[in-house]
Structure 1
């Protein structure tokens, strides 16, 4: 039972990181009708900028600087790419975001190289013991910060004018435009919020372990099964899907080390994703009429 509780805590912490990334996917998809495969590379940019700024600035200022850089990159990409393809087919949009992912990944390699970088988390490396279960400061910070971010998003989408406008745009773009909502601005806002969430996720993803490598963008794409499992248009589904994927990965790594060369846990989320697609193609919490791409 101790091992299960220990792994469960780690799985929830990792799952909250996936939930933040998955929320970014959902917000962009609902707000701009585009599934952005470059979102994982925004996570990588966020992590690398924090590492680059840490020697020169306090951690909180490095984080803010990373948010500014990553959000700016996302807004430039949205302006130069999405706006010009707004009337294109879904296939063209997907291929465009895949090309963007390759370009951003190449820029990361050019700027920071192919090696790993040491990373410091927002909190120390201490632990708290509850019985035989050891809770790390980074894990506690991950869960606590993620909950605060989710609450902030709830307030934003339910009780602010921009949040309501973004929800209206996500529901029906033509109707929102007819009511005087600047749909283009809502597109940019959705990409900006998703990029900010990517930075928050990146600082905690870089804490498992405390290194940043060019593959962190690919690790972030593990949130895609979370999106599909929860539902491509569901905020609640993104959180639930993220927790499910995190728990499956960590529990699988703990209990299935003797199978599949010790890598079976990396496949399990995709197996579950395929099962959900077969039984419930719109996800556990998704709308039945959503179009899968």
Structure 2
């Protein structure tokens, strides 16, 4: 029973980190209607900056630089590329962000090479024990910070002009623009927030129990796509719940892999997509996505 509880707690903590990444997908999608497939390389960029700067600057300043750097790059992708597409459509945007992802990931892979970079996190390999459950300190801190950030984002979305503008842009961008809402500022802020959230997630995904910063870290963002789709493309609470569902499912699949050997090795890596497909068979719009009403 204690082993099952340990796997559940680990899964929930991982799910909150995945939720940070998935929320970034939602914010960008609501603000600009773009599936940002460069999200993984932006996450890697933030983690890489922390790993390179923690020795001269110290961990906390390096973490701030990594978050700000990832936010700035994400905003630049929107300002310099996405906004300049002559005939915007989801397919064009997706291809554009794939190209950005390839370029950025290629350069970061060249810089990192075969090394495994430490991010210098002060909690190191410390663990937290409670109720018979052992959890890496990085996961516990990540879970608390993610909950705080979700609360802050909820307040921003509900109480600020940016939140109103984002909802208006998602509903009808042309009308929102005519009503005086600056869509350029709204979209840039959304992309910057998504980049910052990705970098924060990257810091914890490259801390213990992970070995450090490697190019493969960018692939973790792919596991957040099922969380985003599962929750509903335009739902921030849905992205959080989707992250928790995917995190728990993945933790249980990895923890009980020996009992699930008939499903093949590495089944835990496939679980996010299997869960997503099963849910979408029942609710094609996701758990929190709204059905589109069409009047004939």
| Fold shared per TM-score above 0.5 | yes
Q: 1:125 to 1:116 in 2, by over 3 A?
A: closer
Distance 2:169 2:82 in 1: 16
* Other-structure match for 2:144: 144
Q: 1:136 to 1:114 in 2, by over 3 A?
A: closer
Runs of at least 5 residues in structure 1 that lack an aligned partner in the other structure: none
Q: How does 1:222-261 map to 2 (within 5 A)?
A: 222-258=223-259, 259=261, 260-261=263-264
Contact 2:7 2:251 in 1 (8 A): yes
- Superposed displacement of residue 89, structure 1: 2.5
- The worse-fitting range, judged by mean Cα deviation, of 249-258 and 115-124 is 115-124
Instruction: Tell me the alpha carbon deviations over residues 121-172 of structure 1, each in whole angstroms, 9 at most, x when there is no partner.
Output: 3534322322432133212101100001001101111112222222222222
Contact 2:24 2:197 in 1 (8 A): yes
TM-score w.r.t. the length of structure 2 is 0.93
Say what the alpha-carbon RMSD is for the aligned residues. Answer: 1.6
Contact 1:121 1:206 in 2 (8 A): no
Alignment size in residue pairs: 290
Distance 1:236 1:122 in 2: 31
TM-score w.r.t. the length of structure 1 is 0.94
Runs of at least 5 residues in structure 2 that lack an aligned partner in the other structure: none
- For the pair 1:103 / 2:106, whether they are aligned, the reply is no
Distance 1:114 1:25 in 2: 29
- The worse-fitting range, judged by mean Cα deviation, of 149-158 and 249-258 is 249-258
SS at match of 1:118: coil
Q: 1:149 to 1:90 in 2, by over 3 A?
A: same
- The worse-fitting range, judged by mean Cα deviation, of 127-136 and 203-212 is 127-136
- The worse-fitting range, judged by mean Cα deviation, of 2-11 and 276-285 is 276-285
Instruction: Tell me the alpha carbon deviations over residues 162-198 of structure 1, each in whole angstroms, 9 at most, x when there is no partner.
Output: 2222222222211211110111121111111100111
